[in-house]
Structure 1
Amino acid sequence: MNRTLLQILILILAFAKAFISQAQFSTHDPLITNDSIAQKIWVDSVYNSLNQREKVGQLFMVDLFSNKGKAHVAAVRKLVEEQKIGGIIFSKGGPLQQAHLTNELQAKSKTPMLIAMDAEWGLSMRLDSTYAFPWNMTLGATPGTQSSYDVGRRIGQHCKRLGVHINFAPDVDINTNPDNPIIGNRSFGEDMYNVTDKSQAFMKGMQSTGTLACAKHFPGHGDTDQDSHKTLPTVEFSAERIDSVELYPYRKLFQEGMASVMVAHLNIPSLEPRPGYPTSISEKVVTDLLKKRMGFKGLIFTDALNMKGASNFSEPGQIDLQAFKAGNDVLLISENVPKAIDKIIAAWDTGDITDERIEHSVKKILKAKYTSGLHNYQPINTFNLINDLNTESDDVVYERAISDAVTILRNKDSILPLKNLELKKIAYVELGDDSGTVFLKELNKYTKVTQVKANQLDDLLKKLQPYNTVIIGLHRSNDSPWKGYQIKSTQLTWLYEIARTHDVVFDAFVRPYMLAQLNTVENFEGIVMSYQNSEWSQKISAQIIFGARPAVGRLPVSAGSQFNVNDGVDTPYIRRLAYGSTPSSVGLDSYRLSKIDSVANHTVNNLGAPGMQILVARRGKVVYQKNFGYHTYSKEQPVNDEDVYDIASLTKIMGTLPLVMELEEQGVVDLEDSIGTLIPELADSNKKDITIKSMLSHYARLQAWIPFYRYTLDSITSRPMSQYYRNSKSSIYNVEVAQNLFANGIIQDTIFNRIANSELRSRQEYKYSDLPYYLLKKFIEDRSKKTLHELTTNHFYKRMGMNYMGYLPLERFTKDKIVPTENDITYRGQLIHGFVHDQGAAMQGGIGGHAGLFSNANDVAKMMQMYLQNGSYGDVTYFKPKTIAKFNTCYYCDQEVRRGVGFDKPQLDEVGPTCGCVSMTSFGHSGFTGAYTWADPDSEIVYVFLSNRIFPSAENRFLLSENIRTNIQQIIYDAIID
């Protein structure tokens, strides 16, 4: 190749390289609107209406605290009126105060002002009574970019509602220094691609609302160990490193239309050779790099000029002049605006600053004002302002973000999600200096988790001996991202010692850099990074531990030698109920659903029941769980989630029926089996040919009930006869029917004999009866040699984490956790509290096939959700789908019998057990005490209503006459929006 050709080729390659390099830079002006001609006319008109000082005044944005008092506000008002400043950045205060001040000062300003805020994770970064979204570091842990977009969009909508035009966000610093004192959680992480993707999504979300975004802190504040608020940090990287890493996000964001950039106060020798010269006043950085080489045409802000990183370098006024000469458009938080204006005008007058330079920045500011809608300025409407800034839509976004962020970093032997609950005895140990109360409460929705406390390690280890699994939560303050995140050395020792002796799941509700303190993780079975100690984070982390949500998060930073960026282990969703979700997240309208409150309060206020628990779940998520009223009308003890109610006939489908289904699936029984073949004592009785299917469908001519207890009462006094009862327990009188009342054991045989000898009804028609469940109890218990109490507890309740459901509540709870039922004046002569209300079940020692179970609403919901999920719950298959279908079939509908096999079904005519709005695949049951539950596979809804409506008397029929339970059901279905 000859020399001339080689030179030509080199020139072509150089040109191509320059073209390709230039193609990476932005040529788009993000401040130009679609109606660019109208925008230009407005900008030119306003610019031409300003005198020299007013034009310079547009360059300044001053800070205003709405909570600082009259003198402070007066000082800013003076700057607006006299110096004609171009904008205000609001800081601490409240939304209403800020709105009123904005309206007042905008009215006084000749040119509408740009209103800005530092609201990186929402307005609550500065204002009370506003919403706090997850920090960027948390969003950095989420897969994909949807949550970042959604958070940016919601923050943008809040800004628009409050009259804020520019939000100084997102922070696009790549936080590669764990000791960074000012960035940390404000960064999306250390991976430049992840930071870029999340920042871009956040920006697009926010700017989609018309709120201008601002990338900061240019050219990169991520790898510093000093705070530019207090000093001038130094960044020692080469220009090549900064170009390839720190500037990477900016290039991408500029291409996508980032509206503005904030320049940091940094000492970067590779970019600005003058020693200790801040980047914010460096022409080489602002003009040569940002504007020329990178082609940025948006608005350029200095970081606050009162920060020590700038103010220590030069005096007020002079630093402003230098910043403007460097190429910045907006001078943020000048320490002396009048003096700064004077200096800039003086430089303008001498020709040190040209007309073109002033026009360039002022018109950019005016373009931003037009883009923000200030050409058609409207005052802020303060009506309903605080509610508009705290909505369910915000909760939906937060929930999704945290759910995607929580990261499993160690999962030895797949301990997570926790399974085999019947084999686990779980303790919770709280470390840190903030509360883990929400976390513990949420854990207890899945199984019994006991908090263990001690002042000394030896004492703690001793108390933990009975437990085989320990969940340790490290909780540090969630007030701000700058709060300390380390674990104390003494608590670290405790952590290691507990892990040495137990299966441990360590859950850190702190900045992920805390993990660097772990010298070894060998003895940890599970490590969870939950990032923040917010209520949402605590709730969702607990749900992930138990598999009610999958874990998909990835660590956004490295932490010590054990944990690397992008580490994370996926864990599955194992179909347990999740809690606390917003109704709209599962297709329910919150406002309509909230009408349940009115019906519940109406019931309590009209003495329809002392209190109640109400739960609604859809698509596997509990979206409504509230308690109303008190245990009794004395109003001494409010109802809470952990209280247990006598659920009466719900026992049929919560206890006996699943045992029958189990036996049917095992081939032990068949629905066509007759009772005479199951119970030999009935082989020659009039009941011998009654099938399981017919009697559980209430189509077997059985009597509705038999008042067994009446045969044990004195005919004259109507009190229990002495041959049947005693006031103290003995070997003969060993059946406890109430407090200090024990029945003769022979009474069990008497009950069975009365059923065996009872007449059948003359006609075969639908007739609800308790008697099938007496018979099935006898069959099941005789066959297994175990009680229904033992069988249900071991086969279902323990495995499903149903620690509140069960027989004999006084063996498991103190009386204050058990809601009383009726003042029984016809049989036991006392208030029934902790004993089953049903007389027949009481005569069986509280363990009946038809009644006797106590539960809270949550445990009822678990069983119904298992049925709804075709027999599976918590990664355990209790029944095959075909078994559920077999028992949830109405076999005698053509005979006007609506019932399934054990399950109640929707009415066949106008009157029945439901609102008439449910699908025909739905099923449930009701109970005499005021209990009700229903599940609908078509709409994926589970509904639970528990009350003690019979307190103090069963004569109270308010729930029934007012259709309270089914009216609530109608509200639920009316709330369905998809």
Structure 2
Amino acid sequence: MKMKKALKAILLLWWSVASYVAQAQQQKPDFLNYTKSPWVDSVYNAMTPDERIAQLIFVPSFKTDQMPMVEELIDKYKVGGVVFFRANAVDHALMINRYTPMSKVPLAYALDAEWGVGMRVLDGISFPYAMTLGAIQDEALVYDMGRAIARHFHRLGMHINFAPVADVNNNPKNPVISYRSFGENPENVYRKASAYVRGLQDEKILAVIKHFPGHGDTDVDSHHDLPIIKHDIARLDSVELYPFKKLVADGAGGVMTAHLSIPALDNTPNEASSLSDKIIKGILREKLGFEGLTFTDGIHMQGIIKHNSIGEAHAKALAAGNDVVEFSTNVKEALDAIRKAIKDGTITEKDIEEKCRKLLAFKYWAGISKDSVVKTENLTEDLNNSQDLWLNDRLAQAAVTVLKNDQNLMPLKALDQKKMAVLSIGSTDNTPFQLMAANYTKVDFFNIDAACKAEDIKKLKEALKEYDLVLAGVHNLFKSPSRKSIVVNLNDGKEEKLKTRAFGISDGMVELIKYLSQEKNAIISVFANAYAVDVLEGVEDAKGLLLTYQDGRNMEEAAVQVIFGGCDATGKLPVSINQTFPVGSGIDILGGNRLGYTEPEAVGISADALNTMIDSLVQEGLDVQAYPGCQVLVARKGKVILNKAYGFHTYYKNEPVTSKDVYDLASVTKVAAATTSIMKMQGDGVWKMDMPFSTYWKDFKGTDKEVLTFREILAHQAGLKPYLSFWTETLDENKEFKKNTFDVRPSKKYPVQVAPHLFLHKKFKDKYLYKMVAASELGEKGTYRYSGLSFLLYPEMIEQQTGKTFDTFLDDSFYAPLGANRLTFNPSRKFSSKEIIPTENDNIFRFSTMQGYVHDEAAAMLGGVSGNAGLFGNAQDLAKLLQMFLQEGNYGGESYLPAETVKEFTSVQFPQNDNRRGLGFDKPSLDNEEKSEADAYPCKSASMDSYGHTGFTGTMFWVDPKEELVFVFLSNRVYPTRENSELYKRNIRSRMLQGIYDLIDQKVASIK
């Protein structure tokens, strides 16, 4: 017994010394400098004693229909502040605008917004939970978040944030803190909370750290009862109190006191720490040296009123050292009890003056005015601005924690070698997780509800047999471990409550997770509280395991980007899950080699400005019917920052364009198919650009084209004729098809389909088309003359060289491994008509609307597979190929082309001949600097390193390595007729591209 007392004395002495050191380094909150300012003096002196007491009481405000009740409390009792709860932004503003002019002393408005105003404001932005932030390794991001939340507070007219939570959560069963804590490591909790506090207070929003002296190791919710913490002083000091000590020393302006029973600090039976002078005055004030504002947790909570009347609770709270009692619903009873305590000497007049002056000093520091008005115009938009949406993306990506990555499975490679299923467990609707995965490659979606009934699991197992890889997401779990039942739908439409494990995890879900982890090649993403991983038995056996700590679009999309390499993974576990995954676990994964997806601000462009510019130019084209619809994609620095679909398939407006729809790319095929193939042939050492073309194409032997080199032809200065109208060769003098050229039905003799009901003779290609190219007129060599003739020959040349058809070669070598599964020839063989944009109503050759069949007649006579035209695709998949070019032949961690080949083909070949062309690629005009913006090509600001191509159907892409820029514009401007030239007249594509350069030059500042 004597040894225990001696040890306790030593611990108390040590604690006192530590507290003294902390006080010596104390940084006082800034607002304390104004406690004796003229404004505070004048306001304080003008108040009655009761008004000074009422300043220390904050009342709750819920909905607009309860405003009269709050107004009565403000008018009758002159309370000091209002705490707001769930409502939309405009209603918050309306309430504030009603309350503000009613009080002669400016009211302080508080919000419990731990993860941003969205926690209470229905249409406000929500940032990640504290546990999610605890996984982030860069505290600067948390600081940025604190500043963003502060800006939202100012926009809403709020002044006090009851945040951040500084509790150290080391009890997995904690029913009330859990995900609201930054974790179990006291230092990590301090660092994250400190960054949050600084972010708020640098913008003059009061941060209120909570719940002192530490609510993290409880298994009782103080909303319902009084939790008991039984740790000794040494443990409390090193864990629970650690963040509070350091945050107080750093100058945190506010502290919220918790309703806890802590016998080691105050052994009074049923005495809540928030009402204990030993804890508030003795520890927080004296030992930690805190001089800022101290708020109680909600005074209405059962942890308090179960053992005290409302009036007693108010009086005891102020007597214990609190400055403000919040969530006071019976102000009269509170005032009566406080007056009695003053009369009894429990509270002194000096106490009231000190507390009141301190609150008034805060109001002066914060610039609170009784004349301020919250403007409702654009309020919701201001609370959800693009800068903060980008910040949310950054936070989500930085938090993703990879717990398993067997054999470096992630980032995924060789996408073409994996048949992939994306399964959402706990959601019957397609999720952002699934939709983002579909951006990267061809995947099939599967869904199963949270009950995971046996018959549903059986069907799912059978369906998944044919898949090489399953990406599974666990969705819609409860945030708290105390939730142990879910509502499930029965077959007859009724519902029943199903008992579950913690977090609402059903036995069926556990069975399914075990199957995926132990019997399938699966990557499992858990979009839930970290502690839920321990309940998902067997998940530790998965080949890949990711944790995002919560559900939601940002987190789901971030997980997918980590899996495919669109972003890095650096998150570390802020809590211990079990022995397999202790605190600090987390495998770093380097991404960035595949396209990622984020807000334009991430690459220095204003989202609002970019969207406004693109939208307005697209609308201009739609208004003048330059095209029925279009797709526009912008990527910079490896990130897709805009990918939008506009308008309709046709002017009948029956089918809106989606980002998945495929367009006829027309001459973009020359680069995206033919030139790409030639680059591989050269890169593999098979073809050489300075060899005669006739070396590889024997039909040119013995002709005037025999000595033409590949380089001359691809640079369009070989003198080849621009185009030949092959289809007219099939007509007789009566403009009827010649005999033995076409049939309306396919057969061995007529296998080449050129239209829905038109099939070409099998010998036309060899007997006529190739011979016509060889015999065509040759112009002056060495002069730039654009020609598509050679591109008709490359499919045959590739097949002769590789043994694969042109389209198969491209699929195998590029499109499939890139995940560009919507780049294809003859799309009607793969996609439904609703996914294919129609081009021209052909009234002279094929006499039908070209939908799924190539618009170009020459390509059509090659069965739709040609090097000059015939490729279909959407903007997103074309961008993957272009990003590979931009990354000098690399994408997704794989090499497709040698870097020197990409550089050679995308460089000007014959500038001395005033020829701007690369090899296959188009380039800017050589004299762009001398041209006006209207005449420059493709636009004034395009660098000389840039390259691209346009297409007759209204398509264009441009890549600029200098700015790491990819731009894609796809349209069907030829619908219903090629005579429509509005797209060219208005120069819409070039104006868009120039607009992007202009926005880059504006250099939007990132959040720092």
State the TM-score, normalizing by the size of structure 1.
0.95
Does the Cα contact within 8 Å between 1:777 and 1:848 map onto a contact in 2?
Answer: yes
- Alignment map for 1:75-154 (pairs within 5 Å): 75-154=69-148
**1:591 counterpart letter in structure 2:** D
CA distance 1:239–1:519, change in 2 (3 Å)? same
CA distance 1:26–1:387, change in 2 (3 Å)? farther
Q: Give the Å deviation of 1:292.
A: 1.0
**1:694 counterpart letter in structure 2:** E
Question: Out of 927, 943, 952, which is 1:919 matched to?
Answer: 943
Give per-residue Cα distances to partners, 1:546-576, cap 9 Å, x unaligned. 0010111111111133321111011111510
- 2:730 is equivalent to residue 700 of structure 1: no
SS in 2 for 1:213: strand
- 2:262 is equivalent to residue 268 of structure 1: yes
CA distance 1:891–1:433, change in 2 (3 Å)? closer
Give per-residue Cα distances to partners, 1:566-595, cap 9 Å, x unaligned. 11011111510011x111210112233121
Q: 2:820: which partner in 1?
A: 802
Question: Out of 735, 739, 759, which is 2:752 matched to?
Answer: 735
Q: 2:863: which partner in 1?
A: 845
State which drifts further: 368-377 or 721-730.
Answer: 368-377
CA distance 1:14–1:192, change in 2 (3 Å)? closer
Does the Cα contact within 8 Å between 2:60 and 2:329 map onto a contact in 1?
Answer: no
Question: Out of 760, 771, 796, which is 1:753 matched to?
Answer: 771
CA distance 1:283–1:342, change in 2 (3 Å)? same
Q: 2:38: which partner in 1?
A: 41
SS in 2 for 1:313: coil
Q: 1:214: which partner in 2?
A: 208
Question: Out of 946, 958, 982, which is 1:958 matched to?
Answer: 982
Q: 1:374: which partner in 2?
A: 368
SS in 2 for 1:723: coil
State which drifts further: 570-579 or 400-409.
Answer: 570-579
Q: Give the Å deviation of 1:391.
A: 0.7
- 2:151 is equivalent to residue 157 of structure 1: yes
Q: 1:7: which partner in 2?
A: none
Q: 1:25: which partner in 2?
A: 23
Q: Give the Å deviation of 1:382.
A: 3.5
What residue ranges of structure 1 are gaps of 5+ in the alignment? 1-10
Q: 1:283: which partner in 2?
A: 277
Whole-angstrom distance in 2 between the partners of 1:13 and 1:876: 60
SS in 2 for 1:116: strand
Q: Give the Å deviation of 1:453.
A: 4.7
Q: 2:464: which partner in 1?
A: 464
**2:557 counterpart letter in structure 1:** K
Whole-angstrom distance in 2 between the partners of 1:81 and 1:364: 22
Q: 1:54: which partner in 2?
A: 51
Question: Out of 879, 884, 889, which is 1:871 matched to?
Answer: 889
Question: Out of 488, 491, 505, which is 2:523 matched to?
Answer: 505
**1:182 counterpart letter in structure 2:** V
**2:765 counterpart letter in structure 1:** Q
Does the Cα contact within 8 Å between 2:31 and 2:362 map onto a contact in 1?
Answer: no
Does the Cα contact within 8 Å between 1:433 and 1:477 map onto a contact in 2?
Answer: no
Give per-residue Cα distances to partners, 1:836-858, cap 9 Å, x unaligned. 11111111111101111110101
Question: Out of 640, 652, 669, which is 1:634 matched to?
Answer: 652
Give per-residue Cα distances to partners, 1:461-483, cap 9 Å, x unaligned. 11112111001111116999998
Whole-angstrom distance in 1 between the partners of 2:11 and 2:756: 97
CA distance 1:734–1:974, change in 2 (3 Å)? same
SS in 2 for 1:444: helix
- Alignment map for 1:427-446 (pairs within 5 Å): 427-433=421-427, 435-446=429-440
SS in 1 for 2:811: helix
Whole-angstrom distance in 1 between the partners of 2:481 and 2:204: 27
Does the Cα contact within 8 Å between 1:31 and 1:367 map onto a contact in 2?
Answer: no
**1:943 counterpart letter in structure 2:** F
Whole-angstrom distance in 1 between the partners of 2:727 and 2:412: 46
Q: 2:682: which partner in 1?
A: 664
Aligned residues: 962
Does the Cα contact within 8 Å between 1:31 and 1:371 map onto a contact in 2?
Answer: no
Does the Cα contact within 8 Å between 1:617 and 1:624 map onto a contact in 2?
Answer: yes
Question: Out of 936, 948, 968, which is 1:944 matched to?
Answer: 968
Whole-angstrom distance in 2 between the partners of 1:967 and 1:184: 52
SS in 2 for 1:736: strand
SS in 2 for 1:553: coil
Does the Cα contact within 8 Å between 2:81 and 2:109 map onto a contact in 1?
Answer: yes
- Alignment map for 1:521-920 (pairs within 5 Å): 521=539, 523-579=541-597, 581-594=598-611, 595-716=613-734, 718-749=735-766, 750-762=768-780, 764-909=782-927, 910=931, 911=935, 913-920=937-944
Q: 2:6: which partner in 1?
A: none
Q: Give the Å deviation of 1:45.
A: 2.4
Whole-angstrom distance in 2 between the partners of 1:14 and 1:797: 70
Whole-angstrom distance in 1 between the partners of 2:434 and 2:764: 45
Q: Give the Å deviation of 1:362.
A: 1.4
Whole-angstrom distance in 1 between the partners of 2:843 and 2:377: 56
CA distance 1:435–1:273, change in 2 (3 Å)? farther
Q: 2:997: which partner in 1?
A: 973
Does the Cα contact within 8 Å between 1:186 and 1:481 map onto a contact in 2?
Answer: no
Give per-residue Cα distances to partners, 1:792-836, cap 9 Å, x unaligned. 000001111111001121221112111111111111111111111
Whole-angstrom distance in 1 between the partners of 2:142 and 2:560: 23
Q: Give the Å deviation of 1:40.
A: 2.5
Does the Cα contact within 8 Å between 2:16 and 2:287 map onto a contact in 1?
Answer: no
CA distance 1:715–1:542, change in 2 (3 Å)? farther
Does the Cα contact within 8 Å between 1:823 and 1:829 map onto a contact in 2?
Answer: yes
Whole-angstrom distance in 2 between the partners of 1:14 and 1:838: 88
Whole-angstrom distance in 2 between the partners of 1:51 and 1:444: 67
Percent identity (aligned): 38
Q: 2:3: which partner in 1?
A: none
SS in 2 for 1:803: coil
- 2:330 is equivalent to residue 306 of structure 1: no
Does the Cα contact within 8 Å between 1:478 and 1:534 map onto a contact in 2?
Answer: no
CA distance 1:318–1:242, change in 2 (3 Å)? same
Q: Give the Å deviation of 1:436.
A: 4.9
Whole-angstrom distance in 2 between the partners of 1:12 and 1:502: 57
CA distance 1:676–1:367, change in 2 (3 Å)? same
Q: Give the Å deviation of 1:715.
A: 2.8
**1:50 counterpart letter in structure 2:** M
CA distance 1:208–1:417, change in 2 (3 Å)? same
Q: 2:176: which partner in 1?
A: 182
Whole-angstrom distance in 2 between the partners of 1:440 and 1:904: 37
CA distance 1:946–1:650, change in 2 (3 Å)? same
Q: Give the Å deviation of 1:487.
A: 2.7
Question: Out of 340, 351, 362, which is 2:345 matched to?
Answer: 351
Whole-angstrom distance in 2 between the partners of 1:544 and 1:101: 43
CA distance 1:771–1:604, change in 2 (3 Å)? same
SS in 2 for 1:73: helix
Whole-angstrom distance in 2 between the partners of 1:230 and 1:26: 39
Whole-angstrom distance in 1 between the partners of 2:986 and 2:643: 22
C-alpha root-mean-square deviation of aligned residues, in Å? 2.2
Does the Cα contact within 8 Å between 1:216 and 1:262 map onto a contact in 2?
Answer: yes
- 2:215 is equivalent to residue 198 of structure 1: no
**2:666 counterpart letter in structure 1:** A
State the TM-score, normalizing by the size of structure 2.
0.93
CA distance 1:824–1:52, change in 2 (3 Å)? same
Whole-angstrom distance in 1 between the partners of 2:833 and 2:386: 37
Q: Give the Å deviation of 1:339.
A: 1.6
SS in 1 for 2:824: coil
**2:519 counterpart letter in structure 1:** T
Give per-residue Cα distances to partners, 1:280-321, cap 9 Å, x unaligned. 111111111111111111111111111111111111211111
Q: 1:361: which partner in 2?
A: 355
